[in-house]
Amino acid sequence: MIDSIALKMAEAIKKAEPTKTASIEVMKFSLVVILHTALTVVFIVIIGIITNSLELTMIGLMSFIVLRFFSGGLHLKKAINCSIVSTILISVAPHIPLAPELTIIIIGISLLIALFLAPANIINHARIPKKYFPLLKLISVLLISSNFIFMSSTIAVAHLLQAITLIPYMRRW
């Protein structure tokens, strides 16, 4: 369904500006990514509202997205699968309360995973030169470490879920 909507949008854009736009295939691909991302965020917001945890859900969403931007991770073969898995993982994060001691342990586990594995699976998914990979690792580690200040169980769970996608075994899906 999203593919057909993206195709119709790409065709309409191409028809409106035939010489100033990319190919229909390139625009369709980009539009599919945008539409899936938007749909995922909408579902996450709806779940946050239904579960009366919108603020924590948004904190979890932003924590997950920002860490993912710098650390990379698993890419599923189908966009719809990514949307479903992301919606579930991010919507669950605010509903896993952790004692402070367990929050520290979760932060530590995420930190170790990022320290050894970030950035992961970026080469074919982003145009970031390898010379910046140490900086991406540093930023990932600093993001996770910042939660030692906030001590947020939602952020800790979101970071752990994202860090797990860095594990090479997980990326074989």
Tens of pLDDT along 114-130? 999 999 988 877 789 99
What digits encode the pLDDT tens for the residues 53-63?
Answer: 999 999 999 99
DSSP result, the chain: -HHHHHHHHHHHHHHHSTTTS--HHHHHHHHHHHHHHHHHHHHHHHHHHHTT-HHHHHHHHHHHHHHHHHHB----SSHHHHHHHHHHHHHHGGG----HHHHHHHHHHHHHHHHHH-SBS-TTT----GGGHHHHHHHHHHHHHTHHHH--HHHHHHHHHHHHTTSTTGGG-
Residue 75: predicted pLDDT: 82
Say if pTM beats, i.e. exceeds, 0.85.
yes
Q: Where are the domains of the chain?
A: 51-172
Residue 123: predicted pLDDT: 80
Residue 159: predicted pLDDT: 98
Residue 172: predicted pLDDT: 52
The CA distance from 58 to 64, in Å, is: 10
Q: Digits of tens for pLDDT over the chain (173 positions)? A: 888 999 999 999 999 999 999 999 999 999 998 999 999 999 999 999 999 999 999 999 999 999 999 999 988 888 889 899 999 999 999 999 999 999 999 999 999 999 999 999 888 777 899 999 999 999 999 999 999 999 999 999 999 999 999 998 754 55
